[in-house]
Structure 1
């Protein structure tokens, strides 16, 4: 009318916004207010304060209200099938799409109690329909998404909840927040952090005629995409037009990367496709992964196949190195040292003696010694005799040692004379051999390598870890599993004839296996740190320098003490150091940055991860300068011949960025737990994505977009102290026996 210069024909609006405000004030003082408040107090009692969506960045201490958005149009065929499903379920499309969105959030977070906000028109009476003003009021939709509930059943439940909520939507949301006396948190929006809205744009197309460029007067343009400040972590808006349905996912860029939002839209679309195909399936049973993402998780990031000596035993590689460099220094302890030939001769004599005592394939032999030449000789002799060693730490409580000896039913115990008096008695007699005094008895034994039928599938060792029932668990590891890990480490952190490995790890902790046997993979030497030296940063530094060490392992807690104690100049003087490998605990980024600053630039600092049940290590991650985005260093990618899967509680693959339990498959997976077949069946399962078995780690993790794995914690009550696994259940079991 303005353009054409004619009077406007719009009718007068009899009710103004001020009239609505006056009505609302009166209503808030009436009886309806109390009834609505009582409803919301019941509905929101004991509600979770936070929907724990997996984010790309830590949540800032205060909301910035920054916003960004990403759009996607639902394919027409899918739109039609969604409408058909809604009609069959006697639900609106809004209800169906909201239900699907809630299922997506459940699958992303694992939380079943979900609160989502949705805007309502906020016009409680017909007479306010034409009034101009801001009426919108947010309503909280709280519902429970259970894993086993069929989607159609959940949709019906949600319909009742939404209708009930809309019947009580007149209560102003800001006042509700005040009445509930919620503790204010500047980092969060109150009650809900995710919103959902269904916007009807049908009829908007007719306005396009007024935007004809040929029109004179006031030209304008219809914007089909817009951005605004963000009040929530996420807000999904569905725009309905004559032609299609468009999704617009608004997000907080302080928390999420655009690539994450793009994947989320893809997962929502995939979920809707799955739902219309099988609406009666349980909410946990739908596949969220598009084909490209599934291929990335199963194939691209798990393409780790590599050659290794899978038909050999650990000692075979030692014997081969003896043949290659017999006069090279093999092992050093204080002022003592042995060449490869000398070490092999002593090992062989003890191995022949052990063979004469009945040691052979899968026969367990206990060894309780301090770090020394005798330790290395004893361990290699057990392997060369065909047996498997069971490390018994002399510092362990007598009760724990007694249990391990009884459980292992070891045929022999190798020890040292000064430790014998403190060793507990096993339930049945066990023959003991004192390694420091047996030399004379071995004089007549051959120096040649023993010949026996031990093969790669036989046991190499059984290491006990903490058990949740109060009983330690003996993890059975075979030769081929150890060699898969050692060969992978040799490829990534090559040991040469000029290199040295520092043995400072307790041999009851499986990281010690790399130190005990990794040195001869490339003809290097082993330097043994005396007992107690592993706790002394100055002594460690001296050993690194004196023994020209190239490879050293740390748990993060000890690395922190080491870096705090030694100077940058002192570290720079250790010109032999090549690799600092960190394992056994979560690796704080702050500590990694200190390491990057203090260690010489040529030294590689790496985070390595792996449970005892996967033969020492399963993943690795190279720390680079400036790698400081996350609070914890990722655990990286799978080792050679290892596959990693992150699965939800229902056993399906979790999408990229979504937490789940980490499962490990491939060449390092252990045989199982000694004398615990039920636990073995529970933790070692058939690989659903390939051959062999997978180990259920109990570790919570997620894939990062670049293909690394981030460790997030435990799904149970296990903790790690200085690299040792501690089951709190074991502590509770012992405490309950001593009230």
Structure 2
């Protein structure tokens, strides 16, 4: 392979990639992204159960794909969902970099990193995504001898090299590196016995496959400068859920990638509870004015509204609402089902007007004081309202022939509006 050809390939592959932004992981300490780090790392892992391992292995065999390709595809889908449907993704992967047979038995670190960029189509299925990733890897591996340092230095200026280091997909040595027979690498703890780990990247996903024991272990190595352990534990749980979703339910692999879910069981339950909006109308229900009056009886001295330096208790608010409702019913003959508009600034009077209109059985329609008078006139004509509640600052927006009433909240009275037969099926 000619190095000039490889350089051109990587420049074309990474052209237009926005590497200036960090991948939106759920960082606990995002302020440290641009500051020097200690390099301290830690790992959270989980092991797949035997049945799930068998399902993934069988799928890889049937798809004529390696486990490396299957898990890399899964990781792309995971990042897509984790980043809330970010479709332009780039993951670093490690290759053995021993293309010649003579290099297979050579002792030394010859590995190279390649950036696997994927522009994911949210509408594609997992099976289709796997084929895309396979083709991506074939092209990348052909040019994998080109040093990663030179890839970074020759990339277009719009690509940020630091982002490419933030995510790395690393698999077991059995799939990437050939070791000399009878030579075994043994892990050595640090001199002080603390077994301290180093975080080279923000996050490294390692999938360890043991064919003899038919086991697969997934490890999340993370930077302690950026993440807390509980956050990474949650991320591993989401990845585990995605694996189960894809391989325990065959139909999910045929669905669009965007339909996959990373929700935990407690989050699914919460979503179900929030969406359970069914209301049994066969039981006795009250209208808003009745519920408000009942609430005032329980705690009349409690503060109901606070606006800047002003505050109003529930008792004071009810008095003002009663006063307004009484005037609407007696002076302006507002009846059940009538439409009354209100055009006021954000204020305590706005709340008084809303409740006062509803208390006399009318329908409340809000008008924005920011709209031009011509638009307000059209809205009044469309609603058929014959009365507009206003403030001194909004009165000039309406023609003199339109009946208006200044709404206030500082009048104290015990007068109650005449009873009206407001029901739940009324507009009010």
TM-score, length-normalised on structure 2? 0.76
Cα 1:178/1:419, change in 2 over 3 Å? closer
Deviations 1:25-46 (A, max 9, x none): xxxxxx8111001111111110
User: Distance between the aligned counterparts of 1:147 and 1:289, measured in 2?
Assistant: 18
1:727 corresponds in structure 2 to none
- Determine helix, strand or coil for the equivalent of 2:404: strand
1:36 corresponds in structure 2 to 6
User: Distance between the aligned counterparts of 2:201 and 2:300, measured in 1?
Assistant: 69
Residue 342 (structure 1) shift = 7.0
1:58 counterpart = 2:30: yes
Residue 228 (structure 1) shift = 3.6
User: Distance between the aligned counterparts of 1:407 and 1:93, measured in 2?
Assistant: 65
Alpha-carbon contact 2:339-2:365 (below 8 Å) kept: yes
Alpha-carbon contact 1:384-1:450 (below 8 Å) kept: no
Deviations 1:336-363 (A, max 9, x none): xx97897577435313236734x323x3
Alpha-carbon contact 1:73-1:247 (below 8 Å) kept: yes
Pairs within 5 Å for 1:358-507: 359-361=335-337, 363-368=338-343, 379-392=354-367, 394=369, 397-402=372-377, 404-406=379-381, 408-415=383-390, 420=395, 422-425=396-399, 431-435=402-406, 447-456=415-424, 458-459=426-427
Residue 115 (structure 1) shift = 0.6
User: Distance between the aligned counterparts of 2:216 and 2:349, measured in 1?
Assistant: 74
2:241 corresponds in structure 1 to 270
Correspondent of 2:173 among 184, 200, 211: 200
Residue 398 (structure 1) shift = 2.8
User: Distance between the aligned counterparts of 1:341 and 1:132, measured in 2?
Assistant: 86
Correspondent of 2:225 among 254, 259, 278: 254
User: Distance between the aligned counterparts of 2:157 and 2:3, measured in 1?
Assistant: 19
2:286 corresponds in structure 1 to 312
1:133 counterpart = 2:102: no
User: Distance between the aligned counterparts of 2:331 and 2:377, measured in 1?
Assistant: 22
1:347 counterpart = 2:318: no
- Determine helix, strand or coil for the equivalent of 1:267: helix
2:151 corresponds in structure 1 to 176
- Determine helix, strand or coil for the equivalent of 2:342: strand
Residue 163 (structure 1) shift = 0.9
1:217 corresponds in structure 2 to none
1:189 corresponds in structure 2 to 162
- Determine helix, strand or coil for the equivalent of 2:90: strand
Correspondent of 2:59 among 85, 104, 111: 85
User: Distance between the aligned counterparts of 1:66 and 1:324, measured in 2?
Assistant: 57
Correspondent of 1:146 among 105, 121, 131: 121
Cα 1:181/1:258, change in 2 over 3 Å? same
Greater relative contact order (Cα < 8 A, sep 6+): 2
Deviations 1:284-306 (A, max 9, x none): 2334345355336545x99999x
1:356 corresponds in structure 2 to 333
User: Distance between the aligned counterparts of 2:359 and 2:272, measured in 1?
Assistant: 38
1:656 corresponds in structure 2 to none
Deviations 1:286-341 (A, max 9, x none): 34345355336545x99999xxx98333433565688899999x99x99xxx9789
Deviations 1:568-621 (A, max 9, x none): xxxxxxxxxxxxxxxxxxxxxxxxxxxxxxxxxxxxxxxxxxxxxxxxxxxxxx
User: Distance between the aligned counterparts of 2:92 and 2:328, measured in 1?
Assistant: 71
- Determine helix, strand or coil for the equivalent of 1:356: coil
Cα 1:448/1:222, change in 2 over 3 Å? closer
User: Distance between the aligned counterparts of 2:318 and 2:72, measured in 1?
Assistant: 73
Correspondent of 2:72 among 77, 98, 104: 98
Residue 136 (structure 1) shift = 1.0
Deviations 1:92-141 (A, max 9, x none): 11101110111011010121111101011122322222222221110111
Alpha-carbon contact 1:234-1:251 (below 8 Å) kept: yes
1:112 counterpart = 2:87: yes
Correspondent of 1:73 among 47, 59, 65: 47
Higher helix fraction (1 or 2) = 2
User: Distance between the aligned counterparts of 1:86 and 1:171, measured in 2?
Assistant: 29
User: Distance between the aligned counterparts of 1:100 and 1:128, measured in 2?
Assistant: 31
1:124 corresponds in structure 2 to 99
Residue 183 (structure 1) shift = 7.0
User: Distance between the aligned counterparts of 1:353 and 1:94, measured in 2?
Assistant: 80
User: Distance between the aligned counterparts of 2:348 and 2:59, measured in 1?
Assistant: 74
Alpha-carbon contact 1:348-1:447 (below 8 Å) kept: no
- Determine helix, strand or coil for the equivalent of 2:340: strand
Deviations 1:680-710 (A, max 9, x none): xxxxxxxxxxxxxxxxxxxxxxxxxxxxxxx
User: Distance between the aligned counterparts of 1:459 and 1:183, measured in 2?
Assistant: 57
User: Distance between the aligned counterparts of 1:248 and 1:326, measured in 2?
Assistant: 59
Q: Structure 1: 5+ residue runs without aligned partners?
A: 1-30, 212-219, 437-445, 461-739
Cα 1:41/1:326, change in 2 over 3 Å? closer
Pairs within 5 Å for 1:197-346: 197-200=170-173, 228-241=197-210, 242-243=212-213, 244-276=215-247, 277-278=249-250, 279-295=253-269, 298=272, 311-316=285-290, 343=320, 346=323
Deviations 1:40-73 (A, max 9, x none): 1111110121422232221412352332211222
Residue 379 (structure 1) shift = 4.7
Deviations 1:74-103 (A, max 9, x none): 212111111110111111111011101110
User: Distance between the aligned counterparts of 2:390 and 2:354, measured in 1?
Assistant: 11
Residue 393 (structure 1) shift = 5.5
Cα 1:347/1:325, change in 2 over 3 Å? farther
Root-mean-square deviation (CA), in Å? 4.4
